[in-house]
Amino acid sequence: MKYGIIGAGAMGYRYGVMLQENAGVDVDFIDTWEPNVEKVREQGGVTVARDHQNRHVVPINIYYPEEYQGHPDVWIIFKKQMQLADELKRDAPIFHDDQYVFAAMNGMGHFEKIAQYFPEDHIIGGTAMIATVLNGPADVDFMGPEGSEAMHMSKYAGEIDETTRQAMADFKAANLNPIWSDNFMGMCMSKVVFNAVTNSLCTMFEIQMGQFIEYPGVKDMATQMFNEAYDACERAGIKLIETRQEEIDSVETVSRAYKYHYPSMYQDFSKGRP
**Does one domain contain both 40 and 110?**
yes
Given this model, what pLDDT does residue 274 score? 60
**Does one domain contain both 169 and 194?**
no
Nearest to 3 by CA among 182, 166, 176, 180: 166
Low-confidence residues in the chain, pLDDT < 50: none
Burial class (CB in 10 A: 0-12, 13-18, 19+), 67: exposed
**Does one domain contain both 176 and 190?**
no
Given this model, what pLDDT does residue 271 score? 78
User: One-letter amino acid identity for 21?
Assistant: E
Given this model, what pLDDT does residue 266 score? 82
Given this model, what pLDDT does residue 77 score? 98
Given this model, what pLDDT does residue 89 score? 98
Given this model, what pLDDT does residue 262 score? 87
**Does one domain contain both 42 and 78?**
yes
**Rg of the chain in Å (alpha carbons):** 18
**Does one domain contain both 167 and 212?**
no
Q: How many structural domains compose the chain?
A: 2
Tell me how crowded residue 129 is: count the other CB atoms within 10 A of its CB: 21
**Does one domain contain both 7 and 118?**
yes
**Does one domain contain both 165 and 266?**
no
**Does one domain contain both 15 and 101?**
yes
Tell me how crowded residue 39 is: count the other CB atoms within 10 A of its CB: 18
Residue 36: give its domain's CATH number.
Answer: 3.40.50.720
Burial class (CB in 10 A: 0-12, 13-18, 19+), 14: buried
**Does one domain contain both 200 and 234?**
yes
Pairing of strands 151-155, 139-142: unpaired
Residue 222: give its domain's CATH number.
Answer: 1.10.1040.10
* DSSP-assigned letters across all residues of 141-163: EE-S-TT---EEEEESSS---HH
**Does one domain contain both 126 and 251?**
no
**Does one domain contain both 215 and 158?**
no
Distance between CA atoms of 134 and 142, rounded to whole angstroms?
A: 9
Q: Of 146, 161, 182, which residue is a domain's last?
A: 182
Distance between CA atoms of 85 and 87, rounded to whole angstroms?
A: 5
Which helix (H) or strand (E) segment is 109 a member of?
none
Q: Of 132, 159, 182, which residue is a domain's last?
A: 182
Distance between CA atoms of 126 and 113, rounded to whole angstroms?
A: 15
Given this model, what pLDDT does residue 163 score? 98
Residue 97: partners with Cβ closer than 8 Å, 6 or more residues away: 119
Which helix (H) or strand (E) segment is 140 a member of?
strand 139-142
Q: Of 136, 163, 182, which residue is a domain's last?
A: 182
Q: Determine the structural domain holding residue 39 and report its residue range.
A: 3-182
Distance between CA atoms of 76 and 91, rounded to whole angstroms?
A: 13
Nearest to 56 by CA among 66, 67, 45: 45
**Does one domain contain both 172 and 241?**
no
